[in-house]
């Protein structure tokens, strides 16, 4: 090979080697993020998954993502459908996602309710449905002791669509600091008007001292879950 061609050949080989190094570096680099179809999630708080009392505030949370992560500034509508789960979903709240794609809304379930989230810009994108069980509130109204006989009154609060009158309430008591309650009586709820019922029980006590009273409203089949609603009260003496 003529001597005058050597510099050109060396330059050509150097350029080829540089291109090869560049190609290897490109292959080793992280690929750009892939953007896919939007995904929408909705979740209940862990402590509320077993159910909540009627009209309790519950915070639902969710996230909008695509193949690249959270999607910011997207409008999300949270919808609800109450038991017996007939008809169309209604709007519970509308919110906008944070920079990480997350969102939160507060709801007040009146009874067993299905919740889902929907993208406002594309209603075909929906979250999985979450069911939130709501139980009537059973709250102590009054309790008094006269001549070692206690009279205890509890009120139950529930939506107007749920009839509590005639349902059984069990009464319990514990003396002093005792943690174990004793079942002492049962009574039926009677209606006081819209969304409010009352149960009254009178029973003998074993002696003087301080007492704690407890009551449970038993299963209501229409609520769809066999768990009682309970409340407690205390009365020193």
Angstrom distances, CA of residue 131 to CA of 42, 85, 212, 220:
11, 11, 34, 17
Q: Do the domain assignments include residue 14?
A: no
pLDDT at 234: 40
Q: Are 76 and 145 members of one domain?
A: no
Q: Do the domain assignments include residue 217?
A: yes
Within the chain, which residues score under 50 in pLDDT? 1-3, 5, 9, 12, 18, 20-34, 220-228, 233-237
Give the full edge-to-edge strand order of the sheet including 229-235: 182-188, 168-175, 211-217, 229-235
Candidates 109, 103, 198; CA nearest to 157 is 198
Q: Do the domain assignments include residue 18?
A: no
Burial class (CB in 10 A: 0-12, 13-18, 19+), 101: buried
Q: Are 197 and 117 members of one domain?
A: no
Q: Do the domain assignments include residue 219?
A: yes
DSSP string, 163-182: --TT-EEEEEEEETT----E
Per the structure, the count of domains in the chain is 2
pLDDT at 236: 31
Q: What is the mean pLDDT of the chain?
A: 79
Q: Are 56 and 105 members of one domain?
A: yes
Q: Are 186 and 155 members of one domain?
A: yes
Q: Are 150 and 206 members of one domain?
A: yes
Q: Do the domain assignments include residue 10?
A: no
Q: Do the domain assignments include residue 20?
A: no
**Which pairs with CB-CB distance under 8 Å and at least 24 residues apart come from 184-189?**
189/156, 189/164, 189/165, 189/217
pLDDT in tens, 184-209: 899 998 988 777 889 999 999 988 88
pLDDT at 227: 44
Range of the domain at 122: 39-134
CATH number for the domain that contains residue 84? 2.60.40.1930
CATH number for the domain that contains residue 203? 2.60.40.730
Q: Are 51 and 65 members of one domain?
A: yes
pLDDT at 161: 67
Q: Are 50 and 93 members of one domain?
A: yes
């Amino acid at each position: 090979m003529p001597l005058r061609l050597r510099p050109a050949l060396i330059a050509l080989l150097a350029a080829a080697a540089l291109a090869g190094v560049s190609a290897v570096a490109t292959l080793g680099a992280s690929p750009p993020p892939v953007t896919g179809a939007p995904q929408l999630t909705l979740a209940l708080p862990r402590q509320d998954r077993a159910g909540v009392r009627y009209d309790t505030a519950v915070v639902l949370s969710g996230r909008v993502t695509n193949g690249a992560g959270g999607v910011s500034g997207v409008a999300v509508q949270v919808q609800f459908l109450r038991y017996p789960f007939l008809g169309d979903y209604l709007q519970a709240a509308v919110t906008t996602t944070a920079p990480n794609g997350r969102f939160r809304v507060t709801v007040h379930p009146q009874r067993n309710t299905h919740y889902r989230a929907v993208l406002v810009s594309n209603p075909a994108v929906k979250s999985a449905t979450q069911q939130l069980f709501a139980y009537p509130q059973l709250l102590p109204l009054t309790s008094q002791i006269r001549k070692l006989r206690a009279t205890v009154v509890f009120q139950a609060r529930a939506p107007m669509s749920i009839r509590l009158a005639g349902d059984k309430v069990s009464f319990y008591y514990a003396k002093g600091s005792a943690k174990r309650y004793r079942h002492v009586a049962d009574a039926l709820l009677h209606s006081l008007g819209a969304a409010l019922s009352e149960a009254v029980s009178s029973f003998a006590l074993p002696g003087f001292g301080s007492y704690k009273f407890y009551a449970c409203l038993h299963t209501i089949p229409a609520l769809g879950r066999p768990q009682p609603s309970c409340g407690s009260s205390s009365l020193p003496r």
